[in-house]
Amino acid sequence: MPWYLKLLLGLLLTTASASQAYTVACHLTYGGETRTIEAAPTASPYSEVPIAIGSRLLFRLVNQAQAADLAAIKLYTYVDRDEGPVLIHQTSYPLPPRTNDRYGFTGLHFVYEPVRDGELQYWCELKDRP
């Protein structure tokens, strides 16, 4: 293989790896409180546990960087019922996601709690490697 093809292949592989090597930060607002959660790249999406938001919502952020055909950022919101969590909102973004100017790559989302009518607002952005 000629040297220039090797160089081009190396650059393409480096660019693909770099696009998947970012931490994701999600900014969550619920009940007048805003906080940020982050997720580093992972090869196992099932290792990411949901974070409690208020008393009834759970938010799960998965930054799956491995397995090129599955690489994506996935966001899940559940309502925590007595019988167990129920999915009420889910979205997925292929890597690398396109970036919106004001609200990262997701835009601003609104998710409503079905029991008490609480409102969760969130948006997510890519951050540099930790």
Find the domain containing 10 and state its range: 3-127
Report the b/e string of 87-116 with b at 16+ CB within 10 A.
Answer: ebbeeebebbbeeeeebbbbeebebebeee
Over the stretch 15-47, which tens digit does the pLDDT of each residue have?
Answer: 444 444 689 999 999 999 999 999 999 888 888
Tens-digit pLDDT profile for residues 95-109: 888 887 789 999 999
pTM check: above 0.85:
no
Hey, which residues does 92 pair with through a beta bridge? 74
- Report which of residues 52 and 127 the model is more confident about: 52
What letter would DSSP give residue 46? G
Cα distances (angstroms) measured from residue 109 to each of 5, 12, 29, 73: 43, 33, 10, 15
The arithmetic mean of pLDDT across residues 83-98, rounded, is 91
Flag whether pLDDT at 92 surpasses 80.
Answer: yes
The Cα 38–Cα 49 span in angstroms is 12
Total domains present in the chain? 1
